[in-house]
Structure 1
Amino acid sequence: MMIDTGLAGRVAVVTGSNSPLGIGAAIARALAREGVAIGLAFLPTPPPPVEPATVGGPEYAEDWEPGARAYAVATASDGSQVLAEVRAEGVEAEIFVVDLTDPAASAGLLGEVEHTLGPVDILVNNAALSVPDTFVPQRDPVFYFGDHPVLDAANLDRHYALNTRAPALLMADFHRRVLARGGGWGRIVNIGTDGAPQFPGEVSYGATKYALESLSRSAAQEMAAAGITVNTVAPGPVQTGWIGPDLAGTAAAMSPFGRLGQPEDIADIAVFLASEQARWLSGQTLYAGGGKRTF
């Protein structure tokens, strides 16, 4: 028997959805297949210059190792490929370029989408920043990202602005808009990390994602009266372009299933949480790591 998710005709906003290799794009495509119109909200990330080991000036992504190169190119995408893929599912879709670290931009996003596609029923907070940092200088014992800088105020604030404050403001505005049209139905799906409770080597990322979990649980309690469910998906390692061949083997060996997570693995969970079948599920964090948590 086919399961009807009850999502046809709904409108969703998916943040951080420009990378064709990313979780946000996979969620957008999966929701589109259910008949959901999609607002792709993102700010492309230009690859930063790096100093190569050889002599010469700064080089860019084309000189990085395969994993980093693929990720840098994908996250710098203008979203046109994802837009075409979503529209190919027969739904309306538009791009909304927005810097979610700007509170004013966060406040205006849902209004722009509503003006273009209609009232937003589903909010997927996927956009995130992850820059390694640490309390004690170290090398990553698992993923070998190299030397990590010591945590400082600027890096912590950057993570907080995108990983915590932006989703909080979007959730608050989403709630207001659902109430303004009489309430009754809404879905918020936040994308966290299975390393949120502790993330040595990526302490700012882990801490700000853990704060997002707390916000989600509070929102689930306070928004239930408006018919809104709020849940968090906490992925383990997912191949979004950043995992090179050597690391891929290491990460796959850590998994009980013997493979890396794929964006579609997370997308299917997000669709379920948005569906009618998940109507009695709220305030939950679903760990999606193939049976193993990072920490």
Structure 2
Amino acid sequence: MLQTGLQGKVALITGGNHGIGAATARALAAEGCHVLINYLRLPLQGITENDYLAQIQTETPGIALYNRKRRADAANVVQEIRTQGGKADAIEADLADPATIPMLFEEAEKRFGTVDILVNNADHCEQDTFLAQPGLAADGFPNATITAALHDSHFAVNSRAVALLMAEFASRHIAARKQWGRIINISTDGAPGFAGEVSYGASKAALESYSRAAAQELGPYGITVNIVSPGPIQTGWISPQQVAEISRVTPLRRVGQPDDIADVIVFLASEQARWLTGQLLSVSGGLRMP
């Protein structure tokens, strides 16, 4: 059994109320980390309130289930961790507000101590396109033509907040004279260019650039910075029809699950990854092979 060296470490995880973030919180807590989860309950996307309410009990992946997960708080995740004997807490706050960033670190320090591991998982995602009459995307969510507001809302969370979180992490790490730190940033396999989600893809490409620069600058302080680039992950949005198609073209012949990503994040946070920094790992079952 691998000894990850994570017992007693403090982890701050953004977007931890469902999906990859929730799985990561559980996985790090299982290794002995004290976990602070940041999350934000999001408005409906791609469905009317009436249609959502009519389908609110569905367990079939698709628009309604995905919206239900995005609207959840993190109470269940925190309770699961505590039931297993771990330490966890959660704070709802919008990363688009720069004042959120220092507040999260201050709260982590009050509850658990100085943050050792930062997982930037939260994102803002609305599908947009350069086309004047975009219609519906393949997954059924409506596309909109790119606007200044759509551009800015993506970059505020997916790149600006990530940059500010890394800077805050570094400042407090150096002030505390720590010699060990981990930053893991979650991107997307669409970052090189994401037709139909142009602002989402571009903002994640900026995240990747920030990550490589941070790896160079923060390495002398014992901080590693790495990027996880997931392929399609079943966080509630992939319909049964899409599951079949994605599985057919994926070398490992299935759709990814949140735990698949969480396990890689645990590895990157662990002592076993001590000589790994500035790298992007495609975690896609072989769907993407850089």
One fold, TM greater than 0.5? yes
**Within the alignment, does 1:75 sit opposite 2:70 as a pair?**
yes
Q: Deviations over 1:57-76 (max 9, x none)?
A: x5252346841111111111
- The unaligned stretches of length 5 or more in structure 2 are none
Alignment partners' CA distance in 2, 1:49 and 1:259: 26
Partner in structure 2 of residue 55 of structure 1: none
Q: Is the 8 A contact 1:123 1:187 kept in 2?
A: yes
Alignment match of 1:276 (pick from 260, 263, 271): 271
Partner in structure 2 of residue 135 of structure 1: 130
Cα distance change on mapping 1:96 and 1:294 into 2, 3 Å: farther
Q: Is the 8 A contact 2:212 2:279 kept in 1?
A: yes
Cα distance change on mapping 1:139 and 1:261 into 2, 3 Å: farther
Q: Deviations over 1:248-282 (max 9, x none)?
A: 21221121111000000000000000000000100
Q: Deviations over 1:68-111 (max 9, x none)?
A: 11111111111111111122232211111111100011232111
Cα distance change on mapping 1:150 and 1:256 into 2, 3 Å: same
- The unaligned stretches of length 5 or more in structure 1 are 52-57
Alignment partners' CA distance in 2, 1:6 and 1:78: 30
- Superposed, which structure 2 residues align to 1:107-126 within 5 Å? 107-126=102-121
How big is the alpha-carbon RMSD for the aligned residues of Structure 1 and Structure 2? 1.8
Partner in structure 2 of residue 5 of structure 1: 4
Larger displacement relative to structure 2 (29-38 or 239-248) = 239-248
Specify the SS of the correspondent of 1:74: helix
Alignment partners' CA distance in 2, 1:109 and 1:294: 36
- Superposed, which structure 2 residues align to 1:196-275 within 5 Å? 196-275=191-270
Q: Which amino acid aligns with 2:15?
A: G
| % identity of equivalent residues | 49
Alignment partners' CA distance in 2, 1:45 and 1:140: 21
Q: Is the 8 A contact 1:188 1:231 kept in 2?
A: yes
**Within the alignment, does 1:25 sit opposite 2:16 as a pair?**
no
TM-score (norm 2): 0.93
**Within the alignment, does 1:169 sit opposite 2:156 as a pair?**
no
Larger displacement relative to structure 2 (103-112 or 161-170) = 103-112
Partner in structure 2 of residue 62 of structure 1: 53
Alignment partners' CA distance in 1, 2:136 and 2:230: 19
Cα distance change on mapping 1:294 and 1:246 into 2, 3 Å: farther
Alignment partners' CA distance in 1, 2:170 and 2:28: 21
Specify the SS of the correspondent of 1:103: coil
Cα distance change on mapping 1:279 and 1:179 into 2, 3 Å: same
Number of residue equivalences: 285
1:147, distance to aligned residue in structure 2 (A): 4.8
Alignment partners' CA distance in 1, 2:247 and 2:4: 32
